[in-house]
A and B are shown apart, each in its own frame.
Chain A
Amino acid sequence: MLELKGFSVRYRTARGEVRALESVDLKINEKEFVALVGESGCGKTTLGLASIGLLPPRSARIASGAISYKGVDLAKLSPNQMKNYRGSEVAMIFQEPLTSLNPLRRIGEQIAEAIVLRIQKRDPSTPTRGAPRVPGMRWKLPPDLKKEVETMLTLVRIPDPAHIIDRYPFELSGGMRQRAMIAMALSQQPELLVADEPTTALDVTTQAQVLRLMKEIKDKLGTTIMLVTHDLAVASQVADRVVVMYAGQVVEDADVREIFSNPKHPYTQGLLACIPTGTRDGKGLTPIKGTIPDLTLKRELCQFQPRCPYAMEICSRKEPKLKEVGKDHRAACFLYGE
């Protein structure tokens, strides 16, 4: 459904061009729940933004390759087509729901806006309704819209939806806000939902609830989900497939059980070892030593090489490419051949 071939994205910054994504090959199939896992700066957010066409236009450019949705190259869409694509085919939710929701408009309005968009994209002659001209004005949603909003809110398991419709974002708890965002994203019935670290700002209990909700959505509605996260544990709870990224590249890509039982790439192994086991076996934490490389430099070596406990001579000369290392299991490492 979503396919990336040799996809590279670079950002123009004061320090030079940062290679956020470098030759990424990735396929996401329908009804899959894929988790993109990696530490800060590995490019996972960039990938997420690229999937919905939200790369910052002034600083980002696609250096090579393509990203296509159902066969259509996203870079070739006109602004109008892109606008129709966003929200209705692919929807995105973000990390911090407080700042990602308009603070001056009520929850009901914002969701209603998405619902109206859905109707408008099918039938462009539909008039826009739903929000008052002046934020804060006492005003009521038209009853049919109100019912739809309530349906969406119930879908994401928000209690007392009729009441919540009139609340402002700051009046809700973090978990409820994130659910509201999910409701808003689902209002246009997208086929793909990209979630950029949706639970990072939440406490652990709420986090579990939201994740469970997302899994339900995938199961009940058949929505494909791309979850971007730095937390492997989170991925393990809900994902079908895990894609591990490092320094702008995919380093391992496999079914979730495979990743946990049989991690091939040294970075993945390191990540797994980092997860606190919660047992008092006196082993302590085992972090991966070193830090991520400078992304402005050209790459003629394996990016993980400086931190890799298995580094070989070839690792500092060439960059490894993704290859099959098992059934539906790919990794980019010279440990498995050239």
Chain B
Amino acid sequence: MNLLRFLLRRLAFAVFVLFCVLTLTFVLSHLIPGDVIQAWLGKEAAQYPVVAKLYAAKYHLNDPVYVQYVYYLAGMLQGNLGISPSRGFVPVSSVIAQTLPLTLQIVFLAFVICVFLGLGLGILAARYRGTPVDSLIRIFYLAGYSSPPYFIGIVILVVASLYLRILPTGGAYDPLAVSPSPSITGFPIFDALLQGNFSFVENASLHLVLPALTLALVTFGVITRVARSSLLDVMQTDYIRTARAKGLDEGTIFYKHAVPNAAISLITISSLVMTFLLTGSVFVEYLFSYPGMGRYAFTALQGSDYPGIMATVFVFAAIIIITNLVADILYAYADPEIRLG
């Protein structure tokens, strides 16, 4: 049962890191220069003393710092993240609830594209190492991750809308054409699927493609590079030599023995990939006017919406930490030495 202990330790650590992030955002939010109330409410609203007083009382902004900290933590645990000036003072948590699923839809699609593209190209590059195929793939992914995500997005936008006139640009769906179904899971596409609203599913999915593609193009390079070098390493091992000695053909050796063993090393970079995808989403959603959390972070930043900024940072960090944890679990399962102790 070493596995269980290992996982519990990782879980505990993840919780600890989350807690640290919470504390960090709290500390940062109180480093804001100037009047705290003004900062959190925005300039205009702060001029109404009644509102300001109410707000201060509700969020205990006049109490000593440690008291505020306790209330802050309590509030966080109950899902109370404050209210958002840049969104007309709706609770931040509801904004997050609205925008997070949309971002997750894009990130998920981008992740899938990334894995297929990255792994596939990595395998090709390793198989045909040294040939022009390898070099071509290298140029491709090098250009990908060296370019800013918004740049690739722009290029795709221009190409798609001007020259190809194929895919729609802007927004999560076309409100003139379709409308979403009532919310069940919180994920618009799933909800529509579950309720048979296929026209919405189609329309919304199309709107996912360009942003997800942009994100994937920027990120797949990391996967390709690791996959390729890991594969090349595996091909040098003794057990591959044994496989050859058995009389297996090169193709079987490569795909049945080398690739699975190398693929495991990819699990370890999945949190890195997630980091890229999440930070990229800020730019991509802005470019494609996609109303996800990335864009919320951006508009919050522009509108000096501190509650919004803090909340989005926290949620992003939480996602990365969770991804890390899941990756650890998967890796522990995949590696028999950890799994069986």
Contact = CB atoms under 8 A, between A and B. Distances in A.
A87 B256 contact: no
A101 B246 contact: no
A212 interface: no
B245 A52 contact: yes
Interface in A160-210: 168, 170-171, 181, 184-185, 188
Interface string A79-112: 1100111111001101010011111100000000
Contacts of B260: 104, 134-135
Interface in B98-120: none
Interface in A139-163: none
Interface string B322-339: 000000000001111101
Contacts of A168: 336-337, 340
Contacts of B243: 102
B2 interface: no
A134 B256 CA distance: 9
A327 to B, nearest CB: 36
Contacts, number: 81
Where chain B touches its partner, the secondary structure class is helix
B95 interface: no
Interface in A267-320: none
The residue in A131, A136, A181 that gathers the most chain B C-beta atoms within 10 A of its C-beta is A136
A100 B242 contact: yes
A135 B238 contact: no
A86 B248 CA distance: 8
Given A104-B336, A135-B260, A136-B339, A86 B246 contact: yes
Contacts of B339: 136
Interface in B237-293: 237-239, 241-250, 252, 256-257, 260-261, 264
Nearest to A187: B246
Contact of B256 (A79, A86, A131, A136): A131
A136 B335 CA distance: 8
Contact of A101 (B242, B244, B333, B335): B242
A253 interface: no
Interface string B214-255: 000000000000000000000001110111111111101000
Contacts of A185: 245
Contact of B245 (A86, A102, A134): A86
B245 A87 contact: yes
A185 B337 CA distance: 25
A257 interface: no
A190 B135 CA distance: 42
Contacts of A181: 242
Contacts of A254: none
The residue in B239, B246, B257 that gathers the most chain A C-beta atoms within 10 A of its C-beta is B246
B247 A188 contact: yes
A80 B335 CA distance: 34
A71 to B, nearest CB: 20
A9 interface: no
Contacts of A117: 246-248
Contacts of B257: 102
Interface of B: 237-239, 241-250, 252, 256-257, 260-261, 264, 333-337, 339-340
Closest 8 CB pairs of A and B: A87-B247, A86-B247, A99-B238, A87-B246, A100-B238, A92-B245, A102-B239, A168-B336
